[in-house]
Amino acid sequence: MATIIGNGSANRLLGTNFADLIRGLDGDDTLFGRGGNDTLFGGDDADRLWGHDGNDTLSGGEDNDRLYAGDGNDLLIDDEGDDFFDGGTGADRIWADEGNDTIVGGTGADQIYADEGNDRIDAGSEDDGVAAGEGNDYVVLGGGADLAIGGEGDDSLFGNLGNDTLIGNEGNDVLAGGLGHDIMTGGEGADRFIFTQGRDVIRDFDNGDDRIDVQQFNLSSWGAVRTQLIQQGDDVVFVYHGNTLRIEDTQIAQMDASDFIW
């Protein structure tokens, strides 16, 4: 393993086609791992790290860093700062610390953990897991069976093609399952559930606080919405042209126009 170490200036350090250890130290550094399973440490200041091929570990350090994993099953870590992460291709783990971060998972089954801050997360394709952390976060999932968990804050969680699980937690959240068969749990707060297609479930609808958005179906009034509701045991089911939304532990008699957006 080659060890390559910079200094307190802004360094440009290139690895080999083998497994390298590259340390930027202070300064606005640019580090390239190239081939091999590399370990890159940016250090303090605003650094740019490229892993390229291999199963790499990229650690940006403090300040506003940009981390690009490339191919492989990589680990991306950064300290406080408004950072950018790109997982590239592979099953990556991304750990973002405090700051308003932008995270792109890329291709592969990624695990993404964001800390405090207003983060924007694009999980990418395959079966991803996202824990957004504290802050007003915006999360978009891809084509897999994904899990997105918000934290304290007003989060927006958007599913996509797969059968997704969305959990808002504390705050006034927006949850949209997308095209698959999805499970949505708002948590504490006045939440908005968007239903567009599939066989979705709302686990914790709070009558009087939460609202259900069915604008996709072009219904013209509360009366038109009401005709699509049926009672099945303890649950209310919205049925429209083969699409169903199950609202658990709810009675039709408890619902009115204030519960829906059409």
- Supply the pTM of this predicted model: 0.94
Check if the beta carbon of residue 36 is closer than 8 Å to that of residue 22.
no
Read off φ and ψ for residue 226, nearest 5 degrees. Answer: -60, -35
pLDDT at 8: 85
pLDDT of residue 205: 98
pLDDT at site 59: 97
CA-CA distance, 224 to 216, in Å (whole number)?
13
Query: According to the model, what pLDDT value does residue 197 have?
Result: 94
Look at residue 1 in the predicted model and tell me its pLDDT.
74
CA 33 – CA 41 distance, rounded (Å)? 11
Say if CB 250 and CB 232 are below 8 A apart: no
**Residue-by-residue pLDDT tens, the chain, 262 positions:** 789 998 989 999 999 999 999 999 999 999 999 999 999 999 999 999 999 999 999 999 999 999 999 999 999 999 999 999 999 999 999 999 999 999 999 999 999 999 999 999 999 999 999 999 999 999 999 989 999 999 999 999 999 999 999 999 999 999 999 999 999 999 999 999 999 999 999 999 999 999 999 999 999 999 999 999 999 999 999 999 999 999 999 999 999 999 999 9
Return the SS3 of 254.
Answer: helix
| Dihedral sign from CA coordinates of 165, 144, 149, 166 | negative
Position 242 scores a pLDDT of: 94
Alpha-helical runs (H) found in the chain: 222-226
CB 172 within 8 A of CB 188: no
